[in-house]
Amino acid sequence: MSDRTFTPLNQIPYEQIVQLVEKFDVRGPRYTSYPTAPVWSNEFPAAPYLEGLEALPDKGRPIAVYLHLPYCQKRCLYCGCNSFISNDREKIAGHAGYIAQEIRRAGNIFKGQVEHGWLHLGGGTPTHNAPDELGRLIDTVLEEIPGAVGAERSVEVDPRVTSDAHLKSLADRGFRRISIGLQDLDPAVQKAVQREFSYDELKSFIDRCHSHGFTGVNVDLIYGLPLQTSDTWKHTLEQIAQLRPDRLAVFGYAHLPAKIKHQRAIKEIDLPGPKQRLSMLLTAFHHFTDSGYVSIGMDHFAVPEDKLAMARNEGTLWRNFMGYTSIRGLEMVGFGASAISELDALFAQNLPLPQQYEEKIGQGGWTTFRGHKLTEDDIQRKALINELMCNLRIRMPEGATLDKAVDLHVAMQKLEAFEEDGLIVPADEGWDITPLGQLFVRNLAMPFDQYLPDQQNVTFSRTV
């Protein structure tokens, strides 16, 4: 899809954007899933999940596989991930053994009939495991769920603990995409969040990734961190653009100290306010698009020759819990504590605490504790929201039944207020989202979320 007919974001006066952010400053879901996780039941049995796994061999389609490795060396104060700090080598290795057991159990169901089209390792820090340990775990996946032709393999790393031996172990097993957690390059900001890594270290790490054969390098940044100013942020962006990673993720800092205890060590007074956050997001947007990157969804950027950028231009982008993808509609099976599986009409999540997870796996069971079976209504809203978030089109989903179509039309009418502000424009059978509207995709998705009105007691992060 093309932005040609729309006013580019950098031609819209900053004050106008600020006014809109003030107008639409609400808290809301990120819509990495629909229905969102707070809607799922916390007493979800493993049986429907197992049925979903059992159905996979007959489908003849590759799946996405996610492995969650929960341990890290040191706590980063901003961290909102399901991660645990340990440097007890035995404990970390032992935990990987439980994940291998879970993978083998799924392999017994798949009987060599299910292949993966995408394998992603996340966490925590997968490379906090020793290189050979990590290699053995990946080999278990490759034996039980072999790679389909052209399968993609990607990993998230904390570069501070990732050695050449790790990079070699991963590259030898076909990993070509690597996502580097950086967040910010300013020394004061890094100190305030206890995550220190210099420009030179980053540059040499990216060089090492390339020399090991990684062809897709992503860097994660966060705006809204303590002590960030527009000047420090600009400097970080300039330095990052010089290194020309293939992809960039620019997340807004989700500060939820009531839920995440270690974030309480971050002083509220040091946090940039909503206006500064917006200005940082816009600066990143301008900086990277002016440097030749294509914007993907709301917070990702890719070089034009990257698959994601091509999928964005062709309107075929998709997204799941692992992030944006150019491969649409892969069912996903997650292994490890807190891992989420997304099967045809079902979300299922594993127990989040490593010890609970080990106990259940050790007893020969499955660790599903939370999940949701999608209704026909959920499926249609999910398709609409996905298209909205990825391809910036608001359309009636294919096959919408008459009564659902009526409901969705009612929700669509609520969008008229957004048209007045230039966030969307009418298009054939729906709306197209403008570059300005791209900043507000979460707000635009909210009218289609039928559960949201009943979620007044859930604390979401700010939409912009």
Ligand X SMILES: C[S@@+](CC[C@H](N)C(=O)[O-])C[C@H]1O[C@@H](n2cnc3c(N)ncnc32)[C@H](O)[C@@H]1O
Q: Which residues of the chain form contacts with ligand X (CB under 6 A)? A: 72, 78-81, 123-125, 156, 158, 181, 183, 220, 222, 251, 253-254
Residue placing its CB nearer to ligand X in the complex, 79 or 361: 79
CB of 124 to ligand SF4, least distance (A): 5
Instruction: Find the binder of ligand SF4 among 17, 63, 67, 76 (CB under 6 A).
Output: 76
Residue placing its CB nearer to ligand SF4 in the complex, 82 or 232: 82
For residue 7, what is the DSSP state?
Answer: P
Residue placing its CB nearer to ligand SF4 in the complex, 50 or 161: 161
Residue placing its CB nearer to ligand X in the complex, 29 or 124: 124
Q: Is 220 in the site for ligand SF4 (CB under 6 A)?
A: no
Q: DSSP per residue over 408-461, as a string?
A: HHHHHHTTHHHHHTTSEEEETTEEEE-TTGGGGHHHHHGGG-TTGGG-TTS-PP
The entry of ligand SF4, ligand X, none that residue 75 binds, CB within 5 to 8 Å by partner kind: ligand SF4
Residue placing its CB nearer to ligand SF4 in the complex, 75 or 136: 75
Beta bridge partners, 334, equal: 66
Instruction: Find the binder of ligand SF4 among 158, 246, 331, 378 (CB under 6 A).
Output: 158
The entry of ligand SF4, ligand X, none that residue 377 binds, CB within 5 to 8 Å by partner kind: none
**CA dihedral of residues 289, 292, 296, 297 (deg, nearest 10):** 10
Query: Kind and range of the H or E element at 241?
Result: helix 230-243
CB of 221 closer than 8 Å to CB of 183: yes
State the pairing for strand pair 368-373/346-350. Answer: antiparallel
Residue placing its CB nearer to ligand SF4 in the complex, 76 or 302: 76
AA letter at 448:
F
CB of 107 closer than 8 Å to CB of 144: yes
Distance of CA 148 to the CA centre of its chain: 23
The entry of ligand X, ligand SF4, none that residue 110 binds, CB within 5 to 8 Å by partner kind: none
Instruction: Find the binder of ligand SF4 among 35, 124, 437, 447 (CB under 6 A).
Output: 124
Q: Is 354 in the site for ligand SF4 (CB under 6 A)?
A: no
Backbone angles phi, psi at 259, to 5 degrees: -100, -35
Instruction: Find the binder of ligand SF4 among 56, 64, 79, 311 (CB under 6 A).
Output: 79
For residue 374, what is the DSSP state?
Answer: P
Q: Is 13 helix (H, G, I), strand (E, B) or coil?
A: coil
Q: Is 339 in the site for ligand SF4 (CB under 6 A)?
A: no
3-state helix, strand, coil in the chain (%, to 5): 45, 20, 35
Query: CA-CA distance, 177 to 155, in Å (whole number)?
Result: 7
CB of 42 closer than 8 Å to CB of 96: no
The entry of ligand X, ligand SF4, none that residue 254 binds, CB within 5 to 8 Å by partner kind: ligand X
Query: Which listed range, 94-102, 121-129, 278-286, 295-303, lies at the site for ligand SF4 (CB under 6 A)?
Result: 121-129
Query: CA-CA distance, 43 to 53, in Å (whole number)?
Result: 19
Instruction: Find the binder of ligand SF4 among 29, 52, 181, 336 (CB under 6 A).
Output: 181
Instruction: Find the binder of ligand SF4 among 117, 123, 135, 371 (CB under 6 A).
Output: 123
CB of 1 to ligand X, least distance (A): 27
Instruction: Find the binder of ligand SF4 among 29, 31, 33, 83 (CB under 6 A).
Output: 83
Residue placing its CB nearer to ligand SF4 in the complex, 127 or 438: 127
Q: Is 178 in the site for ligand SF4 (CB under 6 A)?
A: no
Query: CA-CA distance, 142 to 191, in Å (whole number)?
Result: 40
- Whose CA is closest to 161, among 129, 192, 134? 129
List of residues contacting ligand SF4 (CB under 6 A): 72, 75-76, 79, 81, 83, 123-125, 158, 181
